[in-house]
Amino acid sequence: MNRWASFGQRKQYFLADNSALKLNLAQQQRRKALLPLLTWVILGALLIVLFLNWCLFGLLIRFWVGLGALPFLVLSLWLYARGYDRSGAILLNLVVSSTILLAN
């Protein structure tokens, strides 16, 4: 911004910049609010997969159930590497999905 700009121009620039910051902050807060829900949904799905893996003893079915845990492992690793693990649920996801894969 020009340092010789009038007060009205400076105020308008500040208000535009401030509203952009508020919008960005609101988007970040919304994203952070959805992440715990996402981690618990993933954890629930992994526990269902673990339960199916424990109940079904056929080797072919166990192979496909174990293969289904692979995307959860990759997603959990990606979220953990990006620093989204606030409650420890993603770390628990990593443990459960790797246990499923190792059990098969």
Please report, to the nearest 10 degrees, the dihedral formed by the alpha carbons of residues 99, 93, 54, 104 taken in order: -30
Write down the domain spans for the chain: 34-103
pTM of model > 0.85:
no
Q: How many CA atoms lie within 13 A of 69 on its CB side?
A: 27
- Going residue by residue through the chain (104 aa), what tens digit of pLDDT does each one get? 555 555 555 555 555 555 656 666 667 777 676 777 777 887 788 778 777 766 666 555 666 666 777 777 777 777 777 777 666 666 777 777 777 767 66
The token duo for 93 is 């996801």
